[in-house]
Structure 1
Amino acid sequence: MTGRRADRRLGARWRRRRPLRTRLAVAASAAVALVAVCVCVASFFVIRYKLYQQLDQNLAQTATLVAQQHEYDKDYGVLTGECRFLGAPACTQIVPADPADDPKKPYLLPVARATRQVAAGELAPYYTSFTLPDGKPGRMLTTHYGKGAAVQVAMRADIAERGVRQTAAILAVVGGAGVLLSAVGGYWVSRTGLAPVARLTATAERIAATRDARHRIELPPGPRGGRGEDEVTRLATAFNTMLGELEDSVTARRRLVADASHELRTPLTSLRTNAELLARADRLTAEQRDRASAALGRQLREVTGMVNDLIELARDEEPQPLLEEVRVAPLVEHVVNAAREHWPAIVFTYDAAPGAADRTLPGVPSRLSRLVTNLLDNAAKFSPPGASVEVSLTTMGLAVRDHGPGIAPEDLPHVFDRFYRAERARALPGSGLGLAMARQIARAHGAELTAEHAPGGGALFRVTWPA
């Protein structure tokens, strides 16, 4: 048992140390070689059986002929002489069941106890391979001969033995050639089959060395996704897709860092200026100190809000323990009432369609409130004083419309990008993260947020709930 465990450990260690190409070549070669050897061995036994079967049929025909020629006579002993001719039965003798009836003349063929049993009818006829007195191989049939006797017919088996030896030699050469070809074929199969895997490995190592996700694996020409593609091609296609996603992720991260550093540079500079100004408060008047302190507090709130927004954007999914069935209508109504207090100069109208009050959505209430709040704040920010913001809720989704300047066609594809601010919004407060965060929250809850230019002017944002 200990030896088996040691052999298994050695085999596992060999598999770990050898490359995949070598292991595949060895496995393929061993499989083909095993099949070749098994075919050769099976062919050898089949040919040997056929050669001896033909010889045995000749012996059976001769025994039948002898029995017909010497029907039921008691002429025990040798009928024909020595087996001198190749392929011709020249040795026959009749043996009684009782040894007392044996003739005085000695038998030429071996007589055994089984021969007496066949003569007595106690044993079935049988074939025997033996060596003739001249050293030549022979084949003998012992069968019934009348009552109380057996006939033995023998003939030289040189042809069968020579055929068996020649067959063994030929099949040994064929088997050796098959093993050699299997080794060559196994190496070719491993080299050809693992070529895409080798390219994939080289691409992965190049990306790891250069940190450049723009590299791709070369794929064979033809349409992708067909039924004729093999597993390695599908793996390479999936790897290229993963590289594309990785490149997009790296690009987005770099752009986020660049945008965040750009957006934070101005408020941080203002914070430092006001902090240095307040450090010389003894030289300032009370009005100047109050103004600098208020500016410092406002800028701190802006930076804090921007950092919190960045943290929220860095989270792709909602925490599962906080998910619950949220009734949408009361949540939207509460957010609209809070917006009326925060934006007293804007008129918010809220309309809920029949059946919307029963609509529930699995999610995090605070995050869904943030989604609606960001949409309302965006609408109020771009609306002139006294304008209205229309909020309508249906069983299918939520719509928020303002009557501001609307969204320019060139800005529409970018309104949900992080830190993107249209030309007309540069002077307005905000960091450009509100709509990006709103879309992320919507998608995290299985919803979709879209923007469009409202008929008659203004912007229209739609949130479509999941079915």
Structure 2
Amino acid sequence: MSGHARREPRRLTRWWRRQSLRTRMTVIAATAIAVSVFVAFQVASELMDWKLRETAVTQLHADARSLATNAQRAGLAQVQLSPYPGSGRLVRVILPDGSTRTPAGQPELPPVSEGAGRVARGASADLLESTDWNDGYRVYTLRAADGAVQVVDVADDGPINEFGFGMLLIGLFCVAGGALVGRAVARTGLAPIDRLTAAAVRVANTQDLDAGIPDEGGGEIRRLIQAINDMLAALRDSRRAQRLLAEDAAHELKTPLTSLRLNIELLVRLDRRGTLDTALSAQSRTRLLNDLGAQVAELSTLAAELTDLARGDISDEGAEPLDLADVVVAAVAQARSRVPDLEVALDVTSVWVSGRPAALQRAVLNLVDNAGKWSPEDQPVQVRLRAEGASAVLEVDDAGPGIDAADAPRVFDRFYRADSARAMPGSGLGLSIVQRVVHAHGGRAAVARSARGGALLRLELPVTDPASSVVHSPSGS
């Protein structure tokens, strides 16, 4: 039984959750009106019952005093008692010997109570008010002459019942009207939601993100429409960015793929003719194979960087407090392993930030690789890390030709390569990845000309622990 009782609320909850918002508002409105009518009926019934009781008792007192006055004049045995008219109050005279007189035709009354007998014998006060509800009678006993008189009012629930029936009809009418009004209010109030739903379905079916939802209404509805329009704008920007990325990637892949295809076709054609050994000298074959290897490596690098860029900020790696100096040292070590003759002068101090270690190391590695391509062999790449106020500042300084003022605003754009850099290896994505990682960590990236005439790339990240900095590694190559 207890299990069944527990299942009922769950079923009711599931049913309620399956209903539409319009149905819920209708049910809530009808229920609220029903509860209000019930409470009003209970209060009104209590007030009406109290008022009727007070009026009846007051009338009993008046009738009893009138009968007692007549009994004082004519005597209890001779006082005239009018025949019972068939309805209304009942009267009774209690004689000194305990017997009673009642009007002709009057229904039989309950026996005289002990309290009423004491009044008739004069044992109690001259006036004793007693209200009895037994058998539906309301009795008032009053001392008169040598006995007493009684006026009895038969309790009548008719007015209360009639009032209750009327209130029931009114309540049902109010509940029905409340349901209709609630339905109308719900339909009117939810009309913007319906139009918003239709617009969202239309966007989902047509995939047309440019079709914004018209702004209407106010308050919560307007804020919801604005939020959805903002979401559509964000999706529109994301789709445009994806399209541009695909177009740029296709453009950048075209050149190495074309070169790779031409070189392979040349080798295949010569091999089919059987002139591979005679048509190409050993030096030419070596140069061609080196070109093929470089083109494959370039394609691999471009594919890896495109994958990293397309993923955006999606990563399973969580942010954690870390010493940025450790990340910089690890990135420099990785750059040296990739380019053994790369010289890097480190001047880093311990600065704590909150971030993703692998992403930050990739950003620093891209900076060092970019600087290494431009620095002369006798000039090391300078990497400096220090704390400035609430920021960790990383500077990568090369002694190359530097960045022209016209190219500086677009250095961090995807696939952008200055005219002077088109002959250099690279995809044009490295610095774009750097900027994305830095922005994801709440920092900023900038480019300037270094004191040595080359490029100075500067990163700023918010620190998490402003403890005193400790030198992590002395300058060196």
Q: Which range, TM-score by smaller chain?
A: 0.7 to 0.9
**CA deviations over 1:373-402 (Å, ceiling 9, x no partner):** 211222344556766644321122212244
The answer to whether 1:270 aligns with 2:251 is: no
Counterpart contact for 1:96–1:116, Cα < 8 Å: no
The answer to whether 1:95 aligns with 2:94 is: yes
Q: Equivalent residue for 2:40?
A: 39
The answer to whether 1:449 aligns with 2:441 is: no
Offset at residue 65 of structure 1 (A): 5.1
Question: What is the one-letter code of the residue matched to 1:377?
Answer: D
Question: What is the one-letter code of the residue matched to 1:188?
Answer: A
Offset at residue 189 of structure 1 (A): 2.3
Structure 1 pair 156/126, CA: closer, same or farther in 2 (3 Å)? closer
**Larger deviation, residues 388-397 vs 343-352:** 343-352
Counterpart contact for 1:78–1:107, Cα < 8 Å: no
The answer to whether 1:394 aligns with 2:389 is: no
Structure 1 pair 71/454, CA: closer, same or farther in 2 (3 Å)? farther
Structure 1 pair 325/272, CA: closer, same or farther in 2 (3 Å)? same
Counterpart contact for 2:84–2:103, Cα < 8 Å: no
**Larger deviation, residues 272-281 vs 332-341:** 332-341
**CA deviations over 1:184-238 (Å, ceiling 9, x no partner):** 221122113323332332232112201223333333477xxxxxx43x4444443
Q: Distance in 2 between matches of 1:104 and 1:329?
A: 115
1:360 to 340, 352, 356: 352
**CA deviations over 1:15-50 (Å, ceiling 9, x no partner):** 576533233323322322332344245434433442
Q: Distance in 2 between matches of 1:60 and 1:104?
A: 18
Structure 1 pair 268/60, CA: closer, same or farther in 2 (3 Å)? farther
Counterpart contact for 2:91–2:103, Cα < 8 Å: no
Q: Equivalent residue for 1:50?
A: 51
**CA deviations over 1:85-128 (Å, ceiling 9, x no partner):** 99xx8753223698x63359868354214x42441469982266
2:459 to 448, 453, 463: 463
The answer to whether 1:256 aligns with 2:225 is: no
Q: Distance in 1 between matches of 2:154 and 2:337?
A: 120
The answer to whether 1:217 aligns with 2:209 is: no
Q: Equivalent residue for 1:296?
A: 292
Q: Distance in 1 between matches of 2:138 and 2:4?
A: 48
Q: Distance in 1 between matches of 2:102 and 2:371?
A: 132
Question: What is the one-letter code of the residue matched to 2:456?
Answer: L
Counterpart contact for 1:345–1:386, Cα < 8 Å: no
Offset at residue 51 of structure 1 (A): 3.3
**Larger deviation, residues 250-259 vs 454-463:** 454-463
**Larger deviation, residues 262-271 vs 302-311:** 262-271
Counterpart contact for 1:97–1:149, Cα < 8 Å: yes
Offset at residue 341 of structure 1 (A): 8.1
Q: Equivalent residue for 1:152?
A: 150
Q: Equivalent residue for 2:363?
A: 371
Q: SS of 1:175's equivalent?
A: helix
Offset at residue 300 of structure 1 (A): 0.9
Q: Equivalent residue for 1:119?
A: 116
Q: Distance in 1 between matches of 2:438 and 2:78?
A: 109
Counterpart contact for 1:24–1:186, Cα < 8 Å: yes
Q: Equivalent residue for 1:316?
A: 313
TM-score with structure 2 setting the length:
0.74
Q: Equivalent residue for 2:25?
A: 24
Q: Distance in 2 between matches of 1:173 and 1:109?
A: 36
Counterpart contact for 1:95–1:116, Cα < 8 Å: no
1:244 to 233, 243, 248: 233
Q: SS of 2:212's equivalent?
A: coil
Q: Distance in 2 between matches of 1:43 and 1:196?
A: 41
Offset at residue 256 of structure 1 (A): 1.9
**Larger deviation, residues 381-390 vs 367-376:** 381-390
**CA deviations over 1:230-276 (Å, ceiling 9, x no partner):** 3x444444333332322222222222222222222222222222222
Q: Distance in 2 between matches of 1:407 and 1:206?
A: 49
Counterpart contact for 1:78–1:92, Cα < 8 Å: no
Counterpart mapping for 1:335-354 below 5 A: 335-336=331-332, 348-352=344-348
Structure 1 pair 201/338, CA: closer, same or farther in 2 (3 Å)? closer
Structure 1 pair 95/212, CA: closer, same or farther in 2 (3 Å)? farther
Question: What is the one-letter code of the residue matched to 1:101?
Answer: S
Counterpart contact for 1:335–1:373, Cα < 8 Å: yes
Q: SS of 1:216's equivalent?
A: coil
Quote the RMSD (CA, aligned, Å).
4.4
Offset at residue 56 of structure 1 (A): 2.6
Q: SS of 2:444's equivalent?
A: strand
Q: Distance in 2 between matches of 1:14 and 1:319?
A: 39
1:419 to 415, 422, 439: 415
Offset at residue 466 of structure 1 (A): 2.5
Q: Equivalent residue for 2:192?
A: 196
**CA deviations over 1:164-193 (Å, ceiling 9, x no partner):** 577456545543442233122211221133
Q: Where in structure 1 are there 5+ consecutive unaligned residues?
A: 132-138, 223-228
Q: Distance in 2 between matches of 1:304 and 1:415?
A: 22
Would you say how many aligned residue pairs link Structure 1 and Structure 2? 440
Counterpart contact for 1:350–1:391, Cα < 8 Å: yes
Offset at residue 303 of structure 1 (A): 0.9
The answer to whether 1:406 aligns with 2:415 is: no
TM-score with structure 1 setting the length:
0.75
Structure 1 pair 293/40, CA: closer, same or farther in 2 (3 Å)? same
Offset at residue 407 of structure 1 (A): 5.1
**Larger deviation, residues 302-311 vs 211-220:** 211-220
**Larger deviation, residues 325-334 vs 257-266:** 325-334
Counterpart contact for 1:25–1:187, Cα < 8 Å: yes
Q: Distance in 1 between matches of 2:167 and 2:333?
A: 94
Counterpart contact for 2:382–2:397, Cα < 8 Å: yes
Offset at residue 424 of structure 1 (A): 4.5
The answer to whether 1:432 aligns with 2:428 is: yes
